[in-house]
Amino acid sequence: MTTSAPSRRTTVAVIGAGHSGLAVSHRLSAEGIDHVVLERGQVAHSWHTQRWDSLRLLTPGWMNRLPGLGEPLLGPAHVDEFLTAAQVASLVTGYADVISAPVHEQVAVHRVSPATDGFLVETSAGPWTADHVVLATGSVRGVLPPLAADLPPGLPSVHAIDYRRPSQLPPGGVLVVGAAASGVQIAAELQASGRQVTLAVGEHVRVPRRYRGRDIFAWIEEVGILDERWDEIDDVTRARRLSSFQLVGGTADLDLNTLQEAGVRLVGKLAGTRDGSALFSGSLTNMASLADLKANRLLKSIDDAVGGTGERLEPTRVPDPLLSLSLTSGEIGSVVWATGIKPDHSFLDADVFDHKGAIRHDGGVTHLPGLYVTGLPVLRRRRSTYIDGAREDSADLVSHLTERLSTSTPARRTG
Amino acid sequence: MTETTVDNGVNVEALLGARSALQEAPEAAKFTWRATNTWVKGTHSKSKVEGFFGLGEEQETDRSFEADGDHPPQFAADNQGPTPVETVLVALGGCLTAGVASIAQQRGIQLNSVTATIEGDHDIRGILGADADVRNGFTGVRVNYSIDADASPEDIEALVAQSQKRSAVFDVLTNPTAVSVSVS
């Protein structure tokens, strides 16, 4: 682009100042590699702007480790401490200060494209040229199923990413679609607020909050599950798209049984709409069986690894089937889509996407030399799904990047 | 890793190969299955399946199968074949059992015997027009598997659960499908 304004040059442009981007920044600083961290809003932006009020992390305090971050900011690693979204935002903001990350806030990246000498990064604050780009923008886009477009006109709906609190929704019953962590948590909160919640349940991942006296994450850490590598998992594509554990931060179980005890009505996966009614799949019994079997396999694998035997889960109680529900009778006043979040790499103008629009990468390394992505589920290990994954992922990616720097031409290294 | 000698007669390598190939070529994965149906007499008709479209082209094969459809004497009919609703149960059982065998092969589970009983509950006041509030189709379908295999009860349950998860006919029955019928 010969017509563009003179651009600033950097060795690495990190896009996104969340925990993943900041961890990369810390590793780059430690290697003495000059870089900038470009942030569309403020540090920990999505933790400030895309979480509901009552949300707590699914993961206990000891899984908030970040490279270069020690006490007291991290705080004592209490097993039972589950940070609120606001506390995570404070943690990440404090982290940026501790590591003196070169963050440029309020800089929106409009386009990243390969250039003859690296990458052109076009932003609301003008262009940068970078030898390397690390995408660390997180999962910031709510996924809506195509049938969301078929809701009756005038029926209010909100994606979990925009949900804040029950009072935000109009009066009446609520159809919550999706039974991963966000769906079950929002369903529980709405039911407790006095609304009748109907929860549409497809494939989900059930795990108990505590097992044999300890938090479930303590076990999956101990038996090595969090360290399973992306290139050693049977079907990593599936592992990456699995929904989050059906959990809530704390010590109590939150599953389809506890929700039913609270009065939530369970239906099958939302399969379509017809004549103003929602149609639910008749597969709920099998979805519950799959989740129960899988959860008990996990518990058995823990027992096999550490010895002894704990209690197996009570089977999920499946109610008499309800296959359709009028969305126009007034019974349902709003719909909450708890149908997942995805990254938004639409600013990336490069041939690195698969036919479903997801970025292709091998453990965060794309096939375009110098382009990396991080902060995605099961990026390099199962731990990558959580804040705790940023330590090792950032080390691995910066190590790859440093290796590349050491073999590139000197002219490319001037920054 | 133990040497696998499991043989359920399923070529899992070919299926897994097809899966990874079709992930990269989604167009080739679009199949159209086809049957023709010809009225014979009364409620008796004959259906025939031969070719199908898939892998990007019309597949001309040697296959040609016929199936009769009729109703029993209790419906004042000639009993020349299973009722169409029974054929739906046949389809569900065939699909689920194929899945059980394939998944067992992939998981290294030797099957010794697999039998299923498939039952569909049906309030026929719907199809007779005797009560407008009764639906035409099944009010519920139950499948019970009896499986003898070299695996734990939990692993056998997981086989059956996974088979439902990957079954086309299970999906057809549990989820709405747009159906258009035209006359030429």
Asked if residue A170 is part of any domain, the answer here is yes
Q: Does B62 contact A at CB distance below 8 Å?
A: no
A166-206, pLDDT tens digit by residue?
999 999 999 999 999 999 999 999 999 999 999 999 999 99
Q: Does B174 contact A at CB distance below 8 Å?
A: yes
What is the structure's pLDDT at B160?
97
**DSSP calls for B29-92:** G--B---EEEEEETTEEEEEE--EEETTEEE--S--EEEEE---GGGTS---S--HHHHHHHHH
| pLDDT score of A80 more than 80 | no
Written as six digits, the tokens of A276 are 């103003």
Triad A290, A294, A297: Cα angle to 5°: 145
A302-341, pLDDT tens digit by residue?
999 999 999 999 999 999 999 999 999 999 999 999 999 9
Asked if residue A3 is part of any domain, the answer here is no
| pLDDT score of A414 more than 50 | no
What is the structure's pLDDT at A78?
55
| pLDDT score of A4 more than 60 | no
Classify the C-alpha dihedral B16-B19-B25-B31 as positive or negative.
positive
Q: Are residues A176 and A291 in the same domain?
A: yes
Band (pLDDT 50/70/90 cuts) for residue A77 is low
CATH of the domain at A189: 3.50.50.60
* Interchain pair B157, A289: CB under 8 A: yes
| Helices and strands counted in chain B (H then E) | 5, 7
Give the lowest-confidence range in A50-59, A344-353, B13-22, B58-67: B13-22
What is the structure's pLDDT at A131?
96
| pLDDT score of A6 more than 80 | no
* Interchain pair B174, A283: CB under 8 A: yes
Structural domain total, chain A: 2
Nearest CA distance, A268 vs chain B (angstrom):
9
How is residue B113 annotated by DSSP? E
Which of B23, B154, B174 lies nearest to residue A293, judging by beta carbons? Answer: B154
Nearest CA distance, B62 vs chain A (angstrom):
35
Q: Does B176 contact A at CB distance below 8 Å?
A: yes
Contact at 8 Å (CB) between B70 and B83? yes
B93-104, pLDDT tens digit by residue?
999 999 999 999
Task: Please identify which residue in the block is written with the tokens 């189709």.
Answer: B137
Asked if residue A119 is part of any domain, the answer here is yes
Give the lowest-confidence range in A101-115, A205-219, A255-269, B13-27: B13-27
Q: Are residues A275 and A325 in the same domain?
A: yes
Nearest CA distance, B117 vs chain A (angstrom):
17
Written as six digits, the tokens of A79 are 């097993």
| pLDDT score of B133 more than 50 | yes
Q: Does B135 contact A at CB distance below 8 Å?
A: no
Asked if residue A2 is part of any domain, the answer here is no
Q: How many angstroms separate the CA atoms of A270 and A94, rounded?
A: 42
Q: Are residues A154 and A110 in the same domain?
A: no
Q: Does B87 contact A at CB distance below 8 Å?
A: no
Nearest CA distance, B146 vs chain A (angstrom):
17
What is the structure's pLDDT at A415?
40
Count interface pairs A-B at CB distance under 8 A. 43
Written as six digits, the tokens of A179 are 């039974």
Maximum C-alpha span of chain A: 70
Number of other CB atoms surrounding residue A328 within 10 Å: 13
Q: Does A274 contact B at CB distance below 8 Å?
A: yes
A281, A306, A337 - which closes a domain: A337
Angle in degrees, 0-180, between the axes of helices A19-30 and A85-98, rounded to the nearest 10: 20
What is the structure's pLDDT at B10?
85
A337, A366, A385 - which closes a domain: A337
Q: Which of residues 5-34 of B touch A (CB under 8 A)?
A: 23-24, 26
Q: Are residues A242 and A111 in the same domain?
A: no
DSSP-derived 3-state class of residue B20: helix
Among chain A residues, CA nearest to B175: A281
What is the structure's pLDDT at A196?
98
Instruction: Give the mean pLDDT of chain B.
Output: 92
What is the structure's pLDDT at A408?
73
Q: Which of A200, A257, A157 is nearest to B175 (CA)?
A: A200
Residue A294 backbone dihedrals phi, psi, to 5 degrees: -65, -40
Mean of pLDDT values over A114-126: 95
Mean of pLDDT values over A111-127: 95
Length of chain B, in residues: 184
Enumerate the CATH 3.30.300.20 domain ranges in chain B, comma separated: 11-76, 83-175
List of residues 6+ apart from A279 with CB closer than 8 A: A270, A271, A272, A273, A323, A324, B175, B176
Contact at 8 Å (CB) between A22 and A92? yes
Q: Please give the helix or strand (H or E) that residue A336 lies within, else none.
A: strand A332-337
Q: Does B173 contact A at CB distance below 8 Å?
A: yes
Q: Are residues A178 and A315 in the same domain?
A: yes
Residues in chain A with CB shorter than 8 Å from the CB of B164 are 283, 286
Superfamily of domain B11-76: K homology (KH) domain (3.30.300.20)
| pLDDT score of A410 more than 90 | no
Q: How many angstroms separate the CA atoms of A202 and A270, rounded?
A: 8
| pLDDT score of B61 more than 90 | no
Band (pLDDT 50/70/90 cuts) for residue B2 is very low
* Interchain pair B165, A203: CB under 8 A: yes
Q: What is the dihedral of CA A73, A77, A81, A84, to 10 degrees?
A: 30
Single-letter residue type at A329: S
Q: Are residues A325 and A196 in the same domain?
A: yes
| pLDDT score of B64 more than 50 | yes
DSSP-derived 3-state class of residue A365: strand
ipTM over 0.90: no
Q: What is the domain extent for residue A216?
A: 144-337
Q: Which of A314, A206, A300 is nearest to A254 (CA)?
A: A206
What is the structure's pLDDT at A70?
78
Query: Strands across the sheet with A332-337, in order?
Result: A157-159, A332-337, A173-177, A197-201, A265-268
Band (pLDDT 50/70/90 cuts) for residue A79 is low
Q: Are residues A90 and A27 in the same domain?
A: yes
Q: How many angstroms separate the CA atoms of A105 and A39, rounded?
A: 5
A337, A363, A380 - which closes a domain: A337
Triad A254, A256, A258: Cα angle to 5°: 55
Q: Are residues A313 and A383 in the same domain?
A: no
Superfamily of domain B83-175: K homology (KH) domain (3.30.300.20)
